[in-house]
């Protein structure tokens, strides 16, 4: 499952600094087509920064980052969608309109098919009945799910997710994780998921990348070679969870 | 960002006043009883009427001052006299011509100023270059008092309608320009990144993110612009007009008719208030949910 011959995401010696802070220093990462990679690491180690570079939001960085062979600086990031760590909703727009922002540019958001797609997404993230609500009427976890739905609406070939389930309760979280797996399997999307939840990382991912240090580098990569569908309480999963936690604790 | 904090503070202010009226009600721990707050709506329904109390007192004092001769009637007419004069002019039809032309000037001038202010505000808000080129000039022009423009506009455009409409347009231009320009430039960077990540494109991100985000600022600007339009219409009409409420004002002075002067002032106050309430109503509809 690990990096094949033609990685969709190729990160080569990535270095990124903000003024005096060096956020990432020499990160190498290759993600194969259709692979699900989880990134874990302590707060401030540069996880969000890595996703920002991958999605083309950072203009200046060292090293080479390519998506499908095209450098992110030359439009390679067009194929990439991202769910931000914060919900970042338009507070004057209702839930439906916010999710429609994610619809691809060639889709007319007012077309019946597009509306249906948005309504489906509202159902899948468990917000049925809130289509006409505004962000200030939503809880933190609900807003986070709107943001997740917006990312899913984009239907990119590479989906970056920055702690998308962090504000959800256990049950909703499990539901949304399984739904993400459904989307990933059905569409063959390449997924990079940042999380603080080691259990989530090993349950979802083909590989867990542990970032660490100040400035951040790849400390370790743990392969999760466990057949799907997986059981959350699977003893092998629990063992891998210990392993990742141990690396994190170092 | 700025828009967010402002809206939040508005909300907190509203809830503060709400709590204030609760405290003004009966019991401190009434909240836990479902019957507690029931009498409050009745009390708060009359709250706006409190604002009429002071003006009413002023009118009474005004009447007494003139009636007792503390201020002679040729300098200050009694309130009743002012009302009679206004009523008389209204009944004879003389008043409506003046009111109509003044309102027409304000509508045309404010409309023009708001339109041009929106264009310039958008340009400088979006483009750093446009801002660097235009903003220093406009920032310094905004401090020129309304009356200072009058001689120049008379020289350029004569004493016709266009001089007055343009003068009013200058007045209402600046609040619209300033608010919209800063509003657009201050649109939350995080939302612009969302537009970028989801490839909205230039036009769509303006339509769906930038303009809606700056709309509250535009409406604040329009409210200020309409207010200034009333200031500038007086300047225009006092000096060069043969019709309009401002003309009535100066005519009242020439004729030594304080009742006409005070009546005109009250007319300005009334019309200015009406337009302000109207714009505020639109703003609340659009922005406040
Ligand atoms: N815009 C910025 N300007 C300056 N420094 C920044 C900026 N963004 C991030 N940093 C710095 O880069 C480092 C990595 O930040 P990043 O947000 O990537 O961490 P993270 O791993 O996502 O943390 P968390 O788990 O708390 O979200 C931090 O030291 C942070 O201070
Ligand atoms: Mg982060």
What's the A39 CA to ligand 1 centre distance in angstroms? 15
Pairing of strands A207-212, A36-40: parallel
CB of residue A86 inside a 6 A radius of ligand 1? no
Q: What is the DSSP letter of B208?
A: I
Q: What is the DSSP letter of B22?
A: H
- Residues of chain B whose pLDDT is less than 70? 1-43, 288-289
Q: Sheet containing A9-18: which strands, arranged edge to edge?
A: A21-31, A9-18, A62-67, A70-71
Instruction: Give the pLDDT score at B35.
Output: 52
Instruction: Give the pLDDT score at B37.
Output: 53
What's the A21 CA to ligand 1 centre distance in angstroms? 9
A47–B contact, CB cutoff 8 A:
no
Domain B83-287, architecture per CATH: Orthogonal Bundle (1.10)
Cβ–Cβ gap A134/B208 under 8 Å: no
CA neighbor of B233 nearest in space, from B132, B150, B112: B150
Q: What is the pLDDT of residues A58-84, one digit of tens each?
A: 989 999 999 998 998 888 788 899 999
CB of residue A214 inside a 6 A radius of ligand 1? no
Q: What is the pLDDT of residues A121-158, one digit of tens each?
A: 999 999 999 999 999 999 999 999 999 999 999 999 99
The Cα B215–Cα B154 span in angstroms is 35
Instruction: Give the pLDDT score at B61.
Output: 94
Write down the pTM of the prediction: 0.81
CB of residue A85 inside a 6 A radius of ligand 1? yes
Cβ–Cβ gap B4/A56 under 8 Å: no
Cβ–Cβ gap A84/B193 under 8 Å: yes
Q: What is the DSSP letter of B276?
A: H
Q: What is A166-210 written as a DSSP string?
A: TTS-HHHHHHHHHHHHHHHHHHT-EEEEE-S-HHHHHHH-SEEEE
| Cβ(B188)–Cβ(B179) below 8 Å | no
Task: Pull the structure tokens for residue B13.
Answer: 């202010």
The Cα A233–Cα A226 span in angstroms is 12
What's the A14 CA to ligand 1 centre distance in angstroms? 15
The ipTM, to two decimals, is 0.93
CB of residue A23 inside a 6 A radius of ligand 1? yes
CA distance B210 to chain A (A): 10
Rounding to the nearest 10 degrees, give the CA dihedral for residues A92, A94, A98, A103. Answer: -130
Question: Which 213-252 residues of chain B touch chain A by CB within 8 A?
Answer: 213, 215
The pLDDT of A107-128, averaged and rounded, is 93
B198–A contact, CB cutoff 8 A:
yes
| Total residue count of chain A as it appears in this document | 250
| Cβ(B214)–Cβ(B187) below 8 Å | yes
CB of residue A20 inside a 6 A radius of ligand 1? no
Give me the percent of chain A exceeding a pLDDT of 90: 87
CB of residue A21 inside a 6 A radius of ligand 1? yes
**Domain range annotation of chain B:** 2-76, 83-287
Q: A38: which residues sit within 8 A by CB, 6+ positions away?
A: A192, A193, A194, A195, A200, A201, A202, A204, A205, A207, A208, A209
Among the partner-chain residues B4, B194, B204, the one whose CB lies closest to the CB of A88 is: B194
Q: What is the pLDDT of residues A189-238, one digit of tens each?
A: 999 999 999 999 999 999 999 998 888 899 999 999 999 999 999 999 99
The Cα A195–Cα A176 span in angstroms is 14
Instruction: Give the pLDDT score at A79.
Output: 86
Q: What is A128-150 written as a DSSP string?
A: TT-TT--GGGS-HHHHHHHHHHH
Q: B113: which residues sit within 8 A by CB, 6+ positions away?
A: B168, B169, B170, B171, B172, B173, B176, B225, B229
CATH of A1-79+158-169+195-250, one of 3.10.20.10, 3.90.1150.10, 1.10.10.10, 3.40.50.300: 3.40.50.300
Alpha helices, H only, chain A: 47-54, 95-100, 112-124, 140-154, 170-187, 198-204, 235-249
Interface test mutation site (partner A, options B196, B198, B214, B216, max chain A beta carbons within 10 A): B198
Give me the percent of chain A exceeding a pLDDT of 70: 98
Asked whether residue A30 carries a pLDDT value surpassing 50, the answer given is yes
Instruction: Give the pLDDT score at A1.
Output: 44
CB environment A37-54: b (16+ within 10 A), e (fewer):
bbbbbeeebbbbbbbbbb
B209–A contact, CB cutoff 8 A:
yes
Cβ–Cβ gap B213/A82 under 8 Å: no
Instruction: Give the pLDDT score at B39.
Output: 55
Among the partner-chain residues B197, B209, B215, the one whose CB lies closest to the CB of A82 is: B197
Q: Which residues pair with A215 in a beta bridge?
A: none
Instruction: Give the pLDDT score at B13.
Output: 39
Helix (H) or strand (E) holding A217: strand A217-223
Q: Whose CA is nearest to atom 4 of ligand 1?
A: A18
């Amino acid at each position: 499952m690990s990096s094949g011959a033609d990685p969709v995401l190729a990160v080569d010696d990535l270095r990124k600094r903000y003024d005096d802070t060096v956020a990432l220093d020499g990160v190498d990462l290759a993600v194969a087509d259709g692979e699900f990679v989880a990134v874990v690491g302590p707060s401030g180690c540069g996880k969000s920064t890595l996703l920002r570079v991958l999605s083309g939001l950072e203009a200046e960085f060292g090293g080479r980052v390519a998506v499908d062979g095209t450098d992110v600086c030359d439009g390679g990031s067009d194929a990439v969608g991202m769910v931000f760590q914060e919900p970042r909703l338009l507070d004057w727009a209702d839930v439906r309109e916010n999710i429609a922002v994610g619809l691809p540019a060639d889709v007319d958001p007012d077309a019946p098919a597009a509306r249906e797609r948005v309504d489906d997404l509202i159902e899948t993230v468990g917000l049925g009945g809130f289509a006409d609500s505004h962000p200030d009427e939503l809880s933190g976890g609900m807003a986070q799910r709107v943001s997740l739905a917006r990312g899913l609406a984009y239907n990119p070939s590479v989906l970056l997710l920055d702690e998308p389930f962090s504000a959800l309760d256990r049950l909703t979280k499990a539901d949304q994780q399984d739904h993400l797996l459904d989307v990933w399997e059905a569409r063959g999307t390449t997924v990079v998921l940042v999380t603080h939840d080691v259990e989530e990382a090993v349950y979802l991912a083909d590989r867990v990348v542990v970032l660490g240090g100040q400035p951040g580098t790849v400390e370790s990569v743990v392969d999760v070679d466990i057949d799907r569908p997986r059981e959350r309480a699977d003893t092998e999963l629990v063992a891998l969870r210990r392993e990742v936690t141990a690396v994190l604790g170092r | 960002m700025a828009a967010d904090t402002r809206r939040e503070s508005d909300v907190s202010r509203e809830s503060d006043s709400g709590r204030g009226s609760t405290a003004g009600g009966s019991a401190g721990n009434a909240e836990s009883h479902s019957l507690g707050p029931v009498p409050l709506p009745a009390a708060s329904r009359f709250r706006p009427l409190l604002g009429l109390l002071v003006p009413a007192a002023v009118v009474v004092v005004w009447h007494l001052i003139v009636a007792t001769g503390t201020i002679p009637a040729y300098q200050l007419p009694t309130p009743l006299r002012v009302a009679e004069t206004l009523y008389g002019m209204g009944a004879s039809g003389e008043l409506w011509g003046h009111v109509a032309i003044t309102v027409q000037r304000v509508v045309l001038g404010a409309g023009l100023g708001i339109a041009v202010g929106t264009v310039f505000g958008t340009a400088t808000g979006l483009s750093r270059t446009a801002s660097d080129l235009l903003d220093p000039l406009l920032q310094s022009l905004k401090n020129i008092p309304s009356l200072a423009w009058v001689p120049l506009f008379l020289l350029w455009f004569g004493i016709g309608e266009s001089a007055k409409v343009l003068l009013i347009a200058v007045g209402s231009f600046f609040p619209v320009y300033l608010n919209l320009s800063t509003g657009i430039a201050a649109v939350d960077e995080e939302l612009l990144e969302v537009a970028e990540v989801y490839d909205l494109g230039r036009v769509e991100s303006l339509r769906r993110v930038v303009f809606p985000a700056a709309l509250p600022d535009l409406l604040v600007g329009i409210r200020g612009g309409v207010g200034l339009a009333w200031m500038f219409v007086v300047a225009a009409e006092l000096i060069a007009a043969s019709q309009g409420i401002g003309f009535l004002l100066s005519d009242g002075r020439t004729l030594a008719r304080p009742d006409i002067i005070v009546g005109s002032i009250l007319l300005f106050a009334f019309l200015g208030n009406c337009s302000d309430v109207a714009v505020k109503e639109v703003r609340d509809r659009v922005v406040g949910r």
